[in-house]
Structure 1
Amino acid sequence: MDRRRPGSAHRRQFTVEVRRLGASAVVAPQGELDHHSAEKLGAALTECVAEGCARIVIDCSGLTFCDSMGLNVLLAARIEASQAGGEVQLAALPPMVARVFEITGAGAVFTVHDDLKTALASLPVD
């Protein structure tokens, strides 16, 4: 029997990879996006906006979970990017994460792509 619980020492490590593509960036979080990890993603997104990324694509394919704290970080990044003249788009939402966006209605305020390839094709050539 697996006795691991969220927040335990066995929790999968949360990582955030950022790749710049001209005036855009791809941010790829991996793991559980929750109250333990939201600050790490928020810092990466704030840095992208501060560095002048016109568009940020968040590759959600590596997310295994997203709670309200994670959702709040994504919504805050969207507002911050918009105020700086940019935007945040989402790509490859796993079903469990997509359900959070569906239940809350947050999916309506983001451009959501089925996969990263489609999201990257929508970006303007810099």
Structure 2
Amino acid sequence: MGRGMPDGSDRRQLTVDVRRVGSSAVVAPGGELDHHSAEKLRESLDACIAEGCNRIVVDCSALEFCDSTGLNVLLTTRLELEAAGGEMHLADMLPNVARVLEITGAAAVFVLHDRVEDALAALPTD
């Protein structure tokens, strides 16, 4: 019979780790970023901004999946940061997530880096 549960309980639950690096933050979502889990990432990003961090690197190395809801969270946060004079960069994307950004055209609006260290180095410092 079917393998997955209708409630999505077989999904890899989203985790979000946040660490400060100087005046910047590295936000690392892991697992599946979709309509079930996007609010968790949104809350973490909002908390960074509320704490005065307007330069954020999203470490995508453990992000296995991203749907349109998750992409919308990233795009909305990028706009909010830019409106406040900040920046959001994405780094270390797995091929399937990079493909979503490419197909949707979102890759053209984000600054993308191969490594988190490269993204942090590209952000201006205070």
- The answer (yes or no) to whether the contact 1:49–1:84 under 8 Å persists in 2 is no
CA distance in 2, matches of 1:8, 1:124: 40
| Structure 2 gap ranges (5+) | none
1:21 to partner: Cα distance: 1.3
1:50 to partner: Cα distance: 1.7
CA distance in 1, matches of 2:25, 2:39: 19
Distance 1:83 1:18, change over 3 A: same
Q: 1:59 matched to which residue of 2?
A: 59
CA distance in 2, matches of 1:8, 1:51: 33
Equivalent runs, 1:1-126 vs 2, <5 Å: 3-4=3-4, 7-126=7-126
| Structure 1 gap ranges (5+) | none
Letter in 1 for 2:13: Q
Distance 1:32 1:24, change over 3 A: same
CA distance in 1, matches of 2:6, 2:99: 19
Count of residues paired in the alignment: 126
- The answer (yes or no) to whether the contact 1:4–1:10 under 8 Å persists in 2 is yes
- The answer (yes or no) to whether the contact 1:18–1:28 under 8 Å persists in 2 is yes
Distance 1:100 1:7, change over 3 A: farther
Q: Percent identity?
A: 64
Name which of structure 1's ranges 21-30 and 48-57 shifts more when overlaid on structure 2.
48-57
1:6 to partner: Cα distance: 7.8
Distance 1:4 1:54, change over 3 A: same
CA distance in 2, matches of 1:29, 1:88: 14
Q: Provide the alpha-carbon RMSD of the alignment.
A: 1.8
CA distance in 1, matches of 2:107, 2:2: 33
Cα deviations by residue, 1:18-46 (Å, 9 ceiling, x for unpaired): 10112100000000000011000011111
- The answer (yes or no) to whether the contact 2:60–2:91 under 8 Å persists in 1 is yes
